[in-house]
Structure 1
Amino acid sequence: MYWRNNVVIEQVSVTDRSFQYGDGCFTTIRVEQGQPVFWSLHKQRMLRAIERLKLKPIDWQLTERQLMKLAQSYQHGGIKIHLSRGEGGRGYSPDLEGDTLVTLSTFAYPSHYQALQLQGVSLALCETRLGLNPLLSGIKHNNRLEQVLIKHELEQKGYVDGVVLDLNGHVIETSMANVFWLKDGTLYTPNLSQSGVEGVMRQRVLELTEQWGIPTKTVYVPIETLFDAEEVFMTNSILGVAPVVAITDICFNIGDFSRRLQETLGQC
């Protein structure tokens, strides 16, 4: 489903800026029993991305109306909202006459995610590293070529996912999720001011730990710090919380904190 100026259109042009340059942003939302989960947090993040990328504002009433209409037909699935700056001629100039193009698409809940939540995830250590890009860090922009290359590496190695470092060797995230670890009563997660995506579920976990009075720190650390953790888990908006049971040949137990988060978030 696509629309511009409140009018539904049938197709996207080959001159669309997202197709040509990855010029836009997106978010993926879990749907449970016909309701989009954490919609307000997704909207807040998209508003930050729109401001950062200097996109023209969209009609949020129309977007929410169409989102809710799509969600009603799903008991367990997902919706992706994709924004493009719109159609433009040759060249990088973002000064366009048209409005932002909004796309909504649905997808089935990944069948293997429940097993990852219950049994945990074994992660590779990715050789492909993320560049440093503070202009775009945190937001979920449409240029995902780094993630494409990382996923290719993981598939060649036979892993579902892997820990990704930046060019300086700091832990940032996995190919599809944010990462957390516990050590001596403190919860840690990577600093994402230079690269990586600030996930909606990451935000929710940070809100919960603040409510629970658990010390939390965002840090730049090498992979050896994760190897020394007492408990590791990963999060994204579709997967929720999944314990990490191994990074390469370093093993971890599924901890009480991961299970507490899952129970609080309705996963078990």
Structure 2
Amino acid sequence: MTARMLVNGVAATQVSALDRGLAYGDGLFESIRLVGTVAPLWSRHMQRLTEGCARLQIPAPDPAQLWREALEVSRGMPQSVLRITVTRGPGERGYGLPTSPQPTRVVAAFVPPPVAAEVYAQGVRMRVCSIRLAEQPLLAGIKHLNRLEQVLARAEWNDPAIAEGLLLDSHGRVISATMANLFAVVDGAWLTPSLERCGVAGVARAEVLAAYPQVRVGELTLPALLGASEVFLSSSVRGILPVHSLDGCSYAPGVMTRRLQQHWRDLGFSMEQDG
């Protein structure tokens, strides 16, 4: 996949071999869907990036500068996925923080991943992953660069008919999909898993919670999920995806899923295309 890329504002495709993002995963990233020159969830992405930088003690980039660079790399693309990566920058060997960090900023634009219209209509197939997410409240919620758990989870299957994997924590609690957050109707009430111990708090999840405050955030067990009457995934890149099946259980898209898909369209995202 080719991309247009800026490194610290300069056209480039490489960073220093001494960059702490490469050495330690010491950084954060955001994946942002653009429709032409509009990013409907931009403010939510910037809020999460700023909060993540504060938690990791990395100087936060200027959102206005990031926006200028976003427009530059996505120029002429009718739709794109912008990836913003911020690392602590180059550093000496060892875990100690640099006394005067010089963060590295990478802004790149990619062609969006293809999602067929029937997927939005009928839903995706999922499987339960064997790997369990480690619990680390300090890192929970933020989108830090260490995604090895998700990489290993995705390596558990190669069936193209299965679009996503379900991730549990070490206590067997449902957390999310590998690339999306999850919502379910359990006993007639909408629920999304708590992410206080692990997992990524997606900006699409935040948008859903803001639009429908009746959705409860709490503990979700696998048996409860398997008995749910409706399940969908939220992703800032792919939007609202109904879940058709999880291992041997089947679900049907319901009213809430359709309402949120319309909410996504109202924000300016298209959900009736193949790319």
Superposition TM-score, scaled by structure 2 size: 0.90
> Gaps (5+ residues) in structure 1?
none
Q: How does 1:82-231 map to 2 (within 5 A)?
A: 82-112=85-115, 114-155=117-158, 159-210=162-213, 215-231=214-230
CA contact (8 A) 1:202 1:235 kept: yes
Change (3 A) 1:21 1:147: same
Counterpart for residue 51 of structure 1 = 54
CA contact (8 A) 2:115 2:238 kept: no
Counterpart for residue 252 of structure 2 = 253
CA contact (8 A) 1:178 1:199 kept: yes
d(CA) in 1 for partners of 2:74, 2:10: 18
Counterpart for residue 73 of structure 1 = 76
d(CA) in 2 for partners of 1:230, 1:120: 14
Change (3 A) 1:222 1:157: farther
Change (3 A) 1:72 1:186: farther
d(CA) in 2 for partners of 1:114, 1:90: 49
The C-alpha deviation readout for 1:212-263, integer Å capped at 9, x for no partner, is xxx2211222201011111100011001000001110100111121111101
Change (3 A) 1:156 1:119: closer
d(CA) in 2 for partners of 1:114, 1:53: 39
Structure 1: which 4+ aligned runs deviate by more than 6 Å?
Answer: none
CA contact (8 A) 1:113 1:239 kept: no
Instruction: Name the count of aligned residue pairs.
Output: 262
Q: Name the % identity.
A: 34
Which of 109-118 and 46-55 deviates more?
Answer: 109-118
d(CA) in 2 for partners of 1:63, 1:177: 24
Which of 31-40 and 134-143 deviates more?
Answer: 31-40
Residue 64 of structure 1: how far off its partner (Å)? 1.6
Residue 58 of structure 1: how far off its partner (Å)? 1.9
Residue 99 of structure 1: how far off its partner (Å)? 1.6
d(CA) in 1 for partners of 2:124, 2:7: 39
CA contact (8 A) 2:70 2:108 kept: no
Residue 68 of structure 1: how far off its partner (Å)? 2.5
Residue 72 of structure 1: how far off its partner (Å)? 3.8
d(CA) in 2 for partners of 1:146, 1:245: 24
After superposition, the CA RMSD in angstroms is 1.8
Selected match of 1:33 from 33, 36, 47: 36
Counterpart for residue 268 of structure 2 = none
The C-alpha deviation readout for 1:93-142, integer Å capped at 9, x for no partner, is 11243421110111111113544222201110111110111110000000
Matched residue type, 1:122: R
Partner SS, residue 232 of structure 1:
strand
d(CA) in 1 for partners of 2:97, 2:56: 10
d(CA) in 1 for partners of 2:64, 2:89: 19
